[in-house]
Amino acid sequence: MDLRAALTAHRLVAIVRGDDPEAALRTVLTLADEGVGLIEVSLTGRDALSVIERAREALGPDRPLGAGTVLTADDARAARDAGADFAVTPALGEGVTAAHALGLPVLAGVMTPTEIVTARGQGATGLKVFPAAQAGGPAYLRALRGPFPHELLVPVGGVDEAAARAYLAAGATAVGVGSPLIGDAADGGGHSALRERARAFLAAVREATA
């Protein structure tokens, strides 16, 4: 897949991590039904690879689906074999280089300018600025835009609806959102509230893009 084009077009990555595989699968499908174009399933969730496999079967081959928390070469291979289109890592290292070697575009976890330069060398397509809130929030991301005007910067960590607007206004390519969007849906919670949150985040992204 063209991760660069997808991040630029959709500007929102939903991060699904849960202890209930059935609920996590329903969460992925609900988000897709609401129009969330980029979804990642974290490998730290229970039976995450099975969730990815079943989501891929349900969504078909053309809907982007990622694997998150890819740390090792084994993680990268398993994610690819399960049907993931892209990999997301919390940091630099083997997960990035292995996924890249396997042909998976990578959203690589970084925090500092040095790590951004290193990520380039490891083949990352985009940069997950993580944990964004602790790194300095929208002001820090805006500062990174100076020396790195062409990088795909995706803040993740503590991004609620208001923060999503602020990061996008500060120059983020997209935002990655976990619990403020997912809530308890991937652990068996209600999905009507999930749909409401998805619509609110999508509206925030559209407003920031307009």
Q: What is the CATH number of the domain that holds 111?
A: 3.20.20.70
pLDDT at res. 17:
98
40 tagged catalytic = yes
147-176 burial: b if 16+ Cβ within 10 Å, else e: ebeebbbbbbbbbbbebbbbbbebbbbbbb
How many structural domains is the chain composed of? Answer: 1
Residue 134, domain extent: 3-209
- The CA distance from 97 to 24, in Å, is 28
Residues in the chain where the model's pLDDT stays below 70: none
**171-199 pLDDT, tens digit each:** 999 999 999 999 999 999 989 999 999 99
Task: State if pTM tops 0.85.
Answer: yes
**Residue 34 among the catalytic residues:** no
Active-site entry in 22, 34, 40, 94: 40
Annotated catalytic residue within 94, 115, 128, 196: 128
